[in-house]
Amino acid sequence: MIVSKKIVLHFPGRLVERPIVYHLIKDYDLEFNIMKASIIPDEEGLMVIELRGNQVNYDKGIKFLKDTGVRIQSLGQNVLRNESRCTHCGACITVCPTRAFKLDTETRLISFDDTKCIACGLCLKACPLRAMELHF
Partner 1 sequence: MPKTIEEINEKIRKGNAVVVNAEEIIGIAKEKGIKKTAQEVDVVTTGTFGPMCSSGAFINIGHSNPRIKLGGGRVYLDDVQTYAALAAADLFIGANALPDDDPRNRIYPGEFNFGGGHVIEKLVDGKDIRLTATAYGTDCYPRKKLETWINIKDVNEAVLFNPRNAYQNYNVAVNLSNKIIYTYMGILKPNMGNANYSTSGQLSPLFNDPYYKTIGIGIKVFLGGGIGFVAWQGTQHNPAAPRTERGVPTRGAGTLALIGDMKQMSSDWLIGTSMLGYGCTLTVGVGIPIPVLSEEMLEYTTVTDADILAPVIDYSSAYPHMETEILAEVSYAQLKSGWIVIRGKQIPTASLSSYSRAIKISNILKEWIQNGKFLLTQPVEALPGIDSGIKPKPLKERPIVE
C-alpha to C-alpha distances, 45 to 15, 17, 124, 130, nearest whole angstrom? 8, 10, 22, 27
Give Cβ neighbours of residue 78 (< 8 Å, ≥ 6 apart): 8, 117, 119, 134, 135, 136
Shortest Å distance, C-beta 112 to partner 1: 14
Shortest Å distance, C-beta 128 to partner 1: 5
Shortest Å distance, C-beta 131 to partner 1: 10
Residues in contact with partner 1 by CB under 8 A are 85, 87-95, 103, 105, 107-109, 125-126, 128-130
Shortest Å distance, C-beta 80 to partner 1: 18
The candidate with the shortest Cα–Cα distance to 76, out of 10, 11, 136, 14, is 136
Between 67 and 106, name the residue whose CB sits nearer to partner 1: 106
Between 75 and 110, name the residue whose CB sits nearer to partner 1: 110
Between 3 and 120, name the residue whose CB sits nearer to partner 1: 120
Between 67 and 107, name the residue whose CB sits nearer to partner 1: 107
